[in-house]
Amino acid sequence: MHFKQITIVLTSCISLINCAVHFERIYGVAEEDLGKYQRTPDDLFHCLDGNGVIPYSALNDDYCDCADGSDEPGTAACPGTKFYCDNHGSVGHFIPSSRVNDGVCDYDLCCDGSDEYNGGIECPDRCEELEKLKESTRKEEIMKIYNAFQKRQEMIAQSLKNVTEDTVTLIENQELYNKENEELDKIKAEIKELEEIEKRSKDFYKLMYRDLKKDYKEYIKKFKKAIEDMLVIKSMEGNDKIDSNVLHDIVKDYNEEILEELNKPKIVPKKEQEEEEEEEESIEIIEEEREEEEEVNEEISTKQIPNDESFEFKPISPKNIPSSPPPKDIPSSPPPKKVNPLPPKDIPSNVPSSSPELNNSDDEEEDEEERLMYEEKKEAHNKIKDQLIALRSKRSTIDRTARDYKRTIDKIEKKLSIDSGLNKIYYSIYEKVYSLKTSDYTYTLTWGKEIKQKEEHGPLTLLGKFKEFRDNYRTVIYDDGAQCWNGPKRSVTVNLICKEQNEILKVSEPSKCEYVMDFGTPGVCDNSDIIALKKPEDTKSKEINPEFSEDMLESIREILKDSPTQAILDEDEVETLEAENNNSEQNKKHDEL
């Protein structure tokens, strides 16, 4: 009898490539471990730790005989042991033996209900039902990954577009910046030339004031001489005092025509430090003239008739001097300036004719010509000032515009230089903000820049600034955050997980001030995510082609449509992508063969 059975088994083993021996089924033992639980010829069972032998009938008798508990795989008799659920049609699982026959259907792990084989409760087999649900969920997850990969390709295309647009903007701003600087250099040169003219004009201005001072002193000397001559005449008449009426007559025309101009302050516009210094020097000269005037008045007061009407001598007015320096065409040396002398018609007839220095009325016409000449030069100089004001205003405007271009250039160059992942896939989300609100905090990620944490009614805390990618662009490090109290600076490790959308999934703090953030993004989706969900029987299930498909090439064309990218990414480059894609397809077919 036994011989025949052995023969049949041997014949079956010879006829089959793989021969499997079927053992007696024992509750709680995984199929691959059944060989350890077969009875010996003398109906004994050896404890699996080798430290005991018990009758085979003692297996699963709800009494713990072996020290390692291996004799009770299907009961809760031995603490710390595990019960295996076969879950036919699904995936088997181990559960703690304490959950066996406890009156609860543990469908989360034992979908076949085998954990309650003797628990006084019926647990129908739901493995097929749950497997269908699981399969549906698995397929949904696979579809999500396919969709996420589609999003990934769109991210690449969008990033390509953004990189190209920013590159075009960078080039345009660099050209505009260079043009503005060229224009700025020209304006600066013009300003420098006009300022040099203005400076030379100021030097001439100072020379004229000094020359006036010399003429003025000469005039005072002549005026004193006229008074002395009058005193001689009065002395001859037996009177050593001068009637104030005579003095008033002598300077009548001077008072009427010049006095008002003399007393008017010669104020140069205070627009620059040099002009202020020029004004101060002019005032000093005038003050010296005032001192001369006081000396003359003091001398006259001693010569006047007592109790006569007081007489005050007014100094000569610098009426021939313009209030502004002359323009570029100033003469190499100052033109001679005429001092208005005392009009001869007001000199008493008894003044000796030997005072020729008072007889200068013929110079009035020449004085008027000089006044007109200086008025013309004053007008020309004012034009130079107006030009300088306009040029300086234009320089400021161009300088501001150039700085704006430079800021744009620096910003784009910085953005282009930052690591944006493979194929610059994350370039399109640079500086985009993502938030997650938890029960205690709100976390904010500004991609490629920083991560912050805010308590509901508390301060904003910097957790870290972007540093680098790691682990083949599946991890991002943000460090150098705010200093922790009695601890390190805060930092965040961001784990990138394949998802359809860019979003913060969760945040934790496993160590003090060292945070971990899970961030969902299409950017990391590839075949490995599909393989993780595939079953062995899914041999015909398609895998993601990392190259650009026809649909994706069309999508790229659509995204790049009517954008500056066309100036850089032309049809030839799209055809290059197509060629690379075709080569990839041919290689794939070759591998399948």
Residue 76's contacts (CB-CB under 8 Å, 6 or more residues apart) are 62, 97, 98, 99, 100, 101, 102
**Pairing assessment for the beta strands 514-521 and 44-46 based on DSSP bridges:** unpaired
In the prediction, which pLDDT does 1 show? 32
Q: Model confidence over 473-486: pLDDT tens digits?
A: 999 999 999 999 88
Per DSSP, the three-state class of 27 is coil
90 contacts 114 by C-beta, under 8 angstroms? no
In the prediction, which pLDDT does 13 show? 41
Q: Model confidence over 389-440: pLDDT tens digits?
A: 999 999 999 999 999 999 999 999 999 999 999 889 999 999 999 999 999 8
Q: Model confidence over 293-306: pLDDT tens digits?
A: 666 666 665 555 44
Among the listed ranges 97-106, 503-512, 522-531, which one has the minimum average pLDDT value?
A: 522-531
In the prediction, which pLDDT does 380 show? 74
* Structural domain boundaries in the chain: 2-125, 180-398, 423-524, 548-593
Using alpha carbons only, what angle is made at residue 46 by residues 113 and 28, rounded to the nearest 5 degrees?
Answer: 5
How many angstroms separate the Cα of 157 from the Cα of each of 78, 101, 145, 426?
A: 61, 58, 18, 11
518 contacts 497 by C-beta, under 8 angstroms? yes
Which of 434, 430, 403 has the alpha carbon at shortest distance from 166?
430
In the prediction, which pLDDT does 351 show? 41
481 contacts 449 by C-beta, under 8 angstroms? no
**Does the pLDDT of residue 318 top 80, yes or no?**
no
What the block records as the tokens of 585 is: 């397809």
Question: How many whole angstroms separate alpha carbon 367 and alpha carbon 374?
Answer: 11
Q: Is the pTM of this model over 0.75?
A: no
Q: Model confidence over 333-391: pLDDT tens digits?
A: 344 444 444 444 444 444 444 444 444 555 666 667 766 776 777 777 788 888 889 99
435 contacts 448 by C-beta, under 8 angstroms? no
Quote the mean pLDDT of the chain: 74
Which of 425, 430, 399 has the alpha carbon at shortest distance from 414?
430
163 contacts 563 by C-beta, under 8 angstroms? no
For domain 423-524, which CATH number applies: 1.10.150.20, 3.30.1330.10, 2.70.130.10, 3.30.930.10?
A: 2.70.130.10
Question: How many whole angstroms separate alpha carbon 265 and alpha carbon 318?
Answer: 11
155 contacts 522 by C-beta, under 8 angstroms? yes
State the DSSP code for 409: H
Question: How many whole angstroms separate alpha carbon 304 and alpha carbon 306?
Answer: 6
What the block records as the tokens of 95 is: 């559960």
In the prediction, which pLDDT does 531 show? 72
Per DSSP, the three-state class of 504 is strand
342 contacts 227 by C-beta, under 8 angstroms? no
In the prediction, which pLDDT does 555 show? 54
Question: How many whole angstroms separate alpha carbon 573 and alpha carbon 153?
Answer: 17
Q: Model confidence over 115-166: pLDDT tens digits?
A: 998 878 899 999 998 888 888 888 888 888 888 888 998 999 999 999 999 9
Among the listed ranges 29-43, 249-263, 369-383, 442-456, which one has the minimum average pLDDT value?
A: 249-263
Question: How many whole angstroms separate alpha carbon 436 and alpha carbon 507?
Answer: 8
124 contacts 390 by C-beta, under 8 angstroms? no
Question: How confident is the model over 65-87, as a mean pLDDT?
Answer: 91
Question: How many whole angstroms separate alpha carbon 505 and alpha carbon 496?
Answer: 10
Percent over 90 (pLDDT), the chain? 36
What's the chain's Rg over C-alpha atoms?
A: 54
Q: Which amino acid is at 112?
A: D
Residue 504's contacts (CB-CB under 8 Å, 6 or more residues apart) are 434, 435, 436, 443, 445, 517, 518, 519, 520
